[in-house]
Structure 1
Amino acid sequence: MGKRVLILTAGMGAGHDAVAAELARRMTAQDVEASVLDVLDLVPLRLGHGLRRMYAGMVRSAPWLYEGIYRSFFVSRRPPPASPLTALIAARLERRLREPAPDAVVSTFHVAAQAAGRLRDAGRLTVPSLVLVTDFAVHRMWLHAGNDRYLCPDERSARTVLERTGRPATGHAPVVRPEFRWARRAGDRLRTVAGAAPDDRLVLVSAGAWGVGRVMETARGLAASGRYVPVVLCGRNERLRRRVGGVALGWRDDMAELMAGAYALVDNAAGLTCREAFACGLPVISYRPIPGHGRDGAVAMARAGLSRYACSPGELVETLDRLKDEAVRKRRIRRAGALFDAVPAERVIRSVLG
């Protein structure tokens, strides 16, 4: 393998890591040596671990606090201010770039994009720096004009990035594992796992890898409608799984098979789980999204026609009811599925490597 690429991620939930891992797999298949680095591991004294715990705690127990931080520091048209954290990560990343030196750097997390852009702008990173944006709502922490190129979730977000950075930006196909594309709209694995009757309409309710958000209320509302059987995806939050009154699942490695048997996905984060559902042909409804980027991402997906955003328990049930119309259902699936017609991210990166 003559070329090397370093993929930067951060373990804030599972989405960024999953995208980085799948991208590395695809690059390896194209004879490119790919390595993945969590930039939070570059922070000394395990402070990166502390930042991860602090963020998870805010989203879980003080969402109003995270919302305030997000609105104050992430949402602005002005470039983000230089931060000690970014400077520290950039300095340590510069040392990591020498062992061995990559031919390109790809960031899949916004702090990584800031650190790599800073190094590239200062001439301390001498190879192309690309940013693979994983948020549909592109906030300013993703944006640094020192980066060479941006790969965005869709053309709408790409236009925003180009306008605000002046750097080349294009849409790319979602980076999801291939089994989600192969999944079929039939199968009984989910029905078996849930212990459901043949005519039950099973609705997946996602709480993300950390099991956050008001998903218990969501599940109770769906069950009370008498029309749907909620299956709550609790991620790694075992406490949540024990508290859910109905069907609740912990961390799963067979999500593609489960999605293949679901009626719809009710999501609260607008992250990778939504893209996996799009790949499976599973309609997505955003409801009670987590604050900050979760809410903004849900709005952005709905505006792009990729999903629906329900604002009340009644609206959630009504939105699910409309999916019984096969024409409506196919139209929504087709709109989201068109994302995968865009150029694959690995092809863009391979062209940059030469």
Structure 2
Amino acid sequence: MRKKESKIIILTASYGTGHLQVANSLYQECANKGMTNVKICNLYAESHPFISEVTEKLYTKSFTYGKQFYKLFYYGTDIIQNKKMLRWYYQYGLKRLTSLIQSEEPDILINTFPITAVPEFRRRTGVVIPTFNIITDYCLHSLWLHDDIDKYYVASNELKAKIHSRGVPVSKVVVSGIPIRPAFSESHDKMALYEKYKINPEKDLILLIAGAHGVLKNIKEICETLLLTTDHQLAVVCGNNLSLRNELAHLNNRYDERFHCFGYIERIDELYRLASVMITKPGGITLSEATATGTPLILYKPVPGQEKENALFFSEKGAALIAKDREELLLSIDSLLKNKEKQLSLQASIRRLYLPTSQGMIMTDILNESEKIMRIGYPSSIKSQKKKVGS
């Protein structure tokens, strides 16, 4: 008899693009395995669209105008041990989640964002749906942790040890790496890429990633200084930030052969491979992508919270430099590009952090673990438990 295909819901949130990218990577892996009964749900946007839109904008602004507020939120919620004080967050999205589970009757739930309504559903109803957390940074925030999460997938042994120190059995934590797009694992003809992007292979290329919302600041001033004082090539990826592209347009005219300005690039992995150094914010996905290509990194002005913690991890591993202001950034670029030995050391260190085929390992393990969980004999009838929800 043919085994029934598992129905999977991947739950995510659009606070930054990383959580959505991981969800899409897992979705694509399921498709590659021939699994068609898979759905991505942006739970907060679906349950509270107005609040979600406002908080997403506040989240983006917090990287520039509200750093202290975000610092207080990130570290403040992390040190709160009394779950009653976070009860509002544990219930956030629960009503929509309950409706989704009742209508879809999933066999597996996967979180790419710390959506605590998911394990809270199990606690309230007694209905066990195998539930898994994919932690999308190199650091730990306590909101990811819950007694009713069946397994965690993390980026490093250090993060596994930290989770274990919080009382989670080591058997429930898998060092898998963070899922990234398969393109980053492909091999390429570098000379063909130089020709494609009209980049001179004889000169160093500095790659600046502005971020999905243009959160890398002072780019115009940084570019002007580098173009005036060095002979290096610059490539800036602005994403969907049209105003930034317009702001940099005059540099295209003045430095046609040395300056390259791009909007959103689907195959950004190709630019990673050509860069002598990349300046970026230390988001978990960007860092994971760089481990695949071995691109030397300078992490610019990390914001307190997961950015700072990610940056410190990579710095301690010898896999990146940190620049706290524009002057330090310019000095770091200059010293790095003059020291090929230092470049090679950064490349070697960052490549040691690379864990290939993360999404394949994760999905295979999730499917196997789900079967084990359901064989235990937990209550499986979702509809019969509907009245318990919300009590």
TM category (shorter chain) comes to 0.7 to 0.9
Q: Work out the CA distance in 2 between the residues paired with 1:228 and 1:308.
A: 19
Q: Work out the CA distance in 2 between the residues paired with 1:174 and 1:45.
A: 28
Query: Counterpart of 2:123?
Result: 121
Residue 349 of structure 2 is aligned to residue 332 of structure 1: yes
Residue 282 of structure 2 is aligned to residue 269 of structure 1: yes
The one of 203, 207, 211 equivalent to 1:204 is 207
SS across alignment from 2:190? coil
1:89, distance to aligned residue in structure 2 (A): 0.5
Contact 2:296 2:347 in 1 (8 A): no
Q: How does 1:93-112 map to 2 (within 5 A)?
A: 93-110=97-114, 112=115
Query: Counterpart of 2:25?
Result: 22
Contact 2:282 2:302 in 1 (8 A): yes
Q: Work out the CA distance in 2 between the residues paired with 1:190 and 1:13.
A: 30
Structure 1 residues not aligned, in runs of 5+: none
Q: Work out the CA distance in 1 between the residues paired with 2:166 and 2:187.
A: 38
The change in CA–CA distance for 1:227 and 1:300 in structure 2 (over 3 A counts) is farther
Mean CA deviation greater in 303-312 or 154-163: 303-312
Amino acid at match of 2:282: A
Amino acid at match of 1:251: Y
SS across alignment from 1:3? coil
1:227, distance to aligned residue in structure 2 (A): 5.2
Structure 2 residues not aligned, in runs of 5+: 252-258, 372-391
TM-score, with length taken from structure 2: 0.80
The change in CA–CA distance for 1:307 and 1:325 in structure 2 (over 3 A counts) is closer
SS across alignment from 2:322? strand
Residue 227 of structure 2 is aligned to residue 214 of structure 1: no
Q: Work out the CA distance in 1 between the residues paired with 2:363 and 2:39.
A: 14
Query: Counterpart of 1:142?
Result: 144
Once the two structures are aligned, what percentage of the paired residues are identical?
Answer: 21
Residue 269 of structure 2 is aligned to residue 256 of structure 1: yes
Q: Work out the CA distance in 2 between the residues paired with 1:67 and 1:185.
A: 43
The change in CA–CA distance for 1:85 and 1:210 in structure 2 (over 3 A counts) is same
1:83, distance to aligned residue in structure 2 (A): 4.0
Residue 319 of structure 2 is aligned to residue 319 of structure 1: no
What RMSD in Å do the two structures reach over aligned CA positions? Answer: 2.7
Residue 79 of structure 2 is aligned to residue 62 of structure 1: no
The change in CA–CA distance for 1:13 and 1:45 in structure 2 (over 3 A counts) is closer
Q: How does 1:179-328 map to 2 (within 5 A)?
A: 179-184=183-188, 186-189=190-193, 192-193=196-197, 195-216=198-219, 217-220=221-224, 222-226=226-230, 228-244=232-248, 245=251, 247-311=260-324, 312-313=328-329, 314-323=331-340, 327-328=344-345
Query: Counterpart of 1:178?
Result: 182
Mean CA deviation greater in 90-99 or 179-188: 179-188
1:269, distance to aligned residue in structure 2 (A): 2.8
Amino acid at match of 1:335: R
Amino acid at match of 2:272: M
Q: Work out the CA distance in 1 between the residues paired with 2:239 and 2:69.
A: 23
Contact 2:137 2:285 in 1 (8 A): no
Contact 1:79 1:143 in 2 (8 A): no
Contact 2:336 2:343 in 1 (8 A): no
Q: How does 1:68-87 map to 2 (within 5 A)?
A: 68-73=72-77, 75-76=78-79, 78=81, 81-87=85-91
Q: Work out the CA distance in 2 between the residues paired with 1:274 and 1:164.
A: 25
The change in CA–CA distance for 1:262 and 1:150 in structure 2 (over 3 A counts) is same
Contact 2:135 2:178 in 1 (8 A): no
Counting matched residue pairs gives 349
Amino acid at match of 1:39: L
Residue 132 of structure 2 is aligned to residue 130 of structure 1: yes
1:225, distance to aligned residue in structure 2 (A): 4.9
Q: Work out the CA distance in 1 between the residues paired with 2:342 and 2:80.
A: 41
SS across alignment from 1:336? coil
Contact 1:205 1:265 in 2 (8 A): yes
Contact 1:205 1:230 in 2 (8 A): yes
The change in CA–CA distance for 1:163 and 1:69 in structure 2 (over 3 A counts) is same
Task: Write out per-residue CA displacement over residues 212-266 of structure 1, whole angstroms, 9 at most, x where no aligned residue.
Answer: 1325154445445515333222222111222234533211112122222222222
Mean CA deviation greater in 226-235 or 214-223: 214-223
SS across alignment from 1:27? helix
Q: Work out the CA distance in 2 between the residues paired with 1:190 and 1:97.
A: 49
SS across alignment from 2:41? strand
1:299, distance to aligned residue in structure 2 (A): 1.0
Q: Work out the CA distance in 2 between the residues paired with 1:50 and 1:326.
A: 42
Query: Counterpart of 1:153?
Result: 155
Contact 2:140 2:163 in 1 (8 A): yes
The change in CA–CA distance for 1:42 and 1:85 in structure 2 (over 3 A counts) is farther
